[in-house]
Structure formats: C-alpha cells, structure tokens
Structure 1
Amino acid sequence: MANTPGSKKAVRKIARRTAINTARRSRVRTFLRKFDEALSAGDAAAAKDAFVKAQSELMRAVTKGVVHKNTGSRKVSRLHAQLKKMAAA
C-alpha cells in the first residue's frame, strides 16, 4: 500500500498510463483483425488498405512504447509476407 504522497501520486500516474496503453494495444489489435478479415475475404484492395493502416498503427504503438521496436517490425514483416503471398496467388 502506498504511504508517502509521492508513491500515491505514482500509483495514480501508473493507473492513467495503464489505461492509455491498454487502449492503444486494443486499437492495434483491431487494425490487425481488420487486416486478417480482408485477407480471408480475398479482397486484395481492401487487404492492402488494411495493411497500410495496420502498419501505421503498429509503428505508432512502437513510438509510444506500447510495443517493442523489434516486435513491431516483426509483425509488420509477417503482415507484408501474407499480403505478398495473397497477391501472388
């Protein structure tokens, strides 16, 4: 339990930051889900558009510190590979 005023303030700050990070992570997952749906539907144009949005959102999460840089890059790379595979088929 927080006793000092500084630790009480830290608890409040952490709670605010956790809420923001949770919302950002949820937003990233939403864009990833939209990409998967476009991919499974077989719509190349929608998949490309969803990929651009998902990539942008992932990299934004990286800059905000929600996702590690390597994790973001790995996910974008895998999404792009899926998009290329769909385009080739």
Structure 2
Amino acid sequence: MANIASAKKRARQAVKNNERNVAQRSMIRTTIKKVVVAIDAGDKAAATAAYAAMVPVLDRYADRGQIHKNKVARHKSRLNAHIKALA
C-alpha cells in the first residue's frame, strides 16, 4: 500500500477511473451489440435506429480516447455496409 499522500490519492483516483472506464467500455459494446442483433434479425428499421444511436456514443468516446478512432471508423463502416445490404 502507498505511504505517501500523493500516491494514496493516485490509488484512489485509479479505482474511480477504472470503474468509469469499465462502465463506458460496457456501454460501447452494448450499443454495438444492439446493431448486430438487429442486423441478424433482418430488421432494417431497427438496425438503422440502433446505428443512429450508436454513432454518437462511439464518436464521443473516440474523442475522449476511450476507444481508438480507427476502431470506431471500422465498426461504423462495417455495420453500415451490413445495414445497407439488408433487403
């Protein structure tokens, strides 16, 4: 355990930051999963709505550095291509 006051503070901050990062990462995955489920069901309207809800979430966390911008672009591109391919 840390003995210096600044090290104790950093340890407290690390715990809070880790909890926040885990929650945000979970939200990112959930939004992506909602789009994938709608695509698998073949529901273009639901997939489009889920995609529209997913894009700002991914962009927001890409700007904050939670997820890499290239990964966000890759997800958006692939999922949008899948949605367009639906009948």
CA positional deviation for 1:7: 0.9
**C-alpha distance in 2, partners of 1:48/1:54?**
10
**C-alpha distance in 1, partners of 2:17/2:38?**
32
Identity of aligned residues (%): 39
Scaled by the length of structure 2, the TM-score of the pair is 0.90
1:19-78 residue CA offsets vs partner (Å, 9 max, x unmatched): 111101101111111111111111111110011111121111112221011111111111
Corresponding residue for residue 73 of structure 2:
73
Matches within 5 A, 1:12-51: 12-51=12-51
In structure 2, runs of 5+ residues without a counterpart are none
Root-mean-square deviation over aligned CA pairs: 1.2
Amino acid at match of 2:34: K
**C-alpha distance in 2, partners of 1:11/1:81?**
44
**C-alpha distance in 2, partners of 1:45/1:8?**
51
1:68-89 residue CA offsets vs partner (Å, 9 max, x unmatched): 1111111111111111222xx4
Amino acid at match of 1:13: Q
Question: Secondary structure in 1 aligned to 2:67?
Answer: coil
Amino acid at match of 1:67: I
In structure 1, runs of 5+ residues without a counterpart are none
Query: Stretches of 4+ moved more than 3 A in 1?
Result: none
